[in-house]
Chain A
Amino acid sequence: MGDEPRPGDHVRGDRGEVVIVQADFTCPWCALAHARLSEWERERPLRRVFRHLALTAKHPRAVALACAAEAAARQGAFWAFHDAVYADQGRIDEPHLWALAQRLGLDLERFEADRRDPAVLAHVQGQTKEAVLAGAMTTPTFLRDGKPDQALYHELVRNREDAKTRSATERGSEGTRTL
């Protein structure tokens, strides 16, 4: 077991394969994985579970955005916030967050208070530490049976990107041929 959503998890979809993603909101690989999982959602039944893997040292805005996502969740807008941030990785600073909160129809004052709530920070840090202690070494990390699943990471993220790079290289080596 270990692949069932837990209380407190953010879950999208009510049937199908469970994919647990440990991610942060400022990581390009996470955004890429999100795009691919969104395709999967359109193709098949899928239950997506999101948990935080927000490394303070790795991405300066990671923890702030994770807390903002939890604040949005308190107003029922976690997934709307999640999708919007991954769709626009160039706008993740404070004014952008306020604009996003307004666009999502959130109570801005409550959003501001909630994302600074120490309980929210403790939740984000707790999930991050749990992920690292289970062996997570990159963002995003997918879980299968409670352990990091590198095969899914490669399927969703790296293979796709490597294929793109190979394709570009092949195009380059073949002069002006267009595909």
Chain B
Amino acid sequence: MTDLIEPGTPAPELSLRTEDDDVFTRDSLLGQTTVLVFYPFAFSPVCTDQLQVYEQVSDEFAKRGAKLYGVSTDATWSQKAFREKLGVAIPQLSDFEPKGATSRALGTYFEPGGMTNRAIVIFGPDAVVTWSYVADSPGDLPGANLILDALDAR
């Protein structure tokens, strides 16, 4: 298992599938601050809480010029259904095939579980990592305040 990508590291090549069947790549990071929120599984109860809470303060992320994405190894269709069930607008990115390739490159993949860890990676508009975090356990939900503090510290 690779270590979590550290601040100051340029983004590696990424390949994540969007809901529109587009591909989110390293170039997609350029020009705006991007927050990738990795969660273990769509429809797991704990993940449900996390994205809905972040959605509640979406204006605070927008105010800081940051765009949030949810990332998991679920297929796009599952992620779309999950997002709709949650009633959130946060776009989803799928690391389904090859499974977990991007997550492995960023050090956010949890090998024994075959899933993404509960982790967050923030990229600046130059596609360089400004902050990264992985929870001690998948059940620990990083508060929105942690992300906002990291954005404010840039």
A1 at the interface (CB under 8 A from B): no
**One of A58, A128, A135 near B145 (C-beta < 8 A):** A135
Cβ–Cβ < 8 Å partners of B87 in chain A: 56-57
Roughly how many angstroms separate A135 CA and B56 CA in the complex, as a whole number?
Answer: 12
Q: Classify chain A's interface size.
A: 10 to 19
- The stretch among B15-23, B47-55, B71-79, B121-129 that forms the contact with chain A is B47-55
Inter-subunit contact A137/B56 (CB<8 Å): no
Cβ–Cβ < 8 Å partners of B49 in chain A: 58, 137-138
Inter-subunit contact A128/B56 (CB<8 Å): yes
Cβ–Cβ < 8 Å partners of A138 in chain B: 49, 141
B146 at the interface (CB under 8 A from A): yes
Cβ–Cβ < 8 Å partners of B53 in chain A: 55, 58, 132, 136-137
**One of A55, A133, A137 near B141 (C-beta < 8 A):** A137
**Docked complex: A132-159 residues within 8 A CB-CB of B:** 132-138, 148
B81 at the interface (CB under 8 A from A): no
Centre residue among B48, B57, B86, B143 by max chain A CB count within 10 A: B143
Roughly how many angstroms separate A134 CA and B60 CA in the complex, as a whole number?
Answer: 13
Q: Tell whether A135 pairs with B144 under 8 Å between CB atoms, given A57-B86, A57-B88.
A: yes
Cβ–Cβ < 8 Å partners of B86 in chain A: 57
Inter-subunit contact A57/B143 (CB<8 Å): no
Contact with A along B22-60 (1 / 0, CB 8 A): 000000000000000000000000001110110111001
**One of A58, A129, A148 near B57 (C-beta < 8 A):** A129
Inter-subunit contact B55/A57 (CB<8 Å): yes
Cβ–Cβ < 8 Å partners of A134 in chain B: 143, 145
B108 to chain A, nearest CB (A): 19
Contact with A along B83-124 (1 / 0, CB 8 A): 000111000000000000000000000000000000000000
B150 at the interface (CB under 8 A from A): no
Roughly how many angstroms separate A72 CA and B143 CA in the complex, as a whole number?
Answer: 31
B148 at the interface (CB under 8 A from A): yes
**One of A56, A128, A137 near B50 (C-beta < 8 A):** A137
Cβ–Cβ < 8 Å partners of B57 in chain A: 129, 132-133
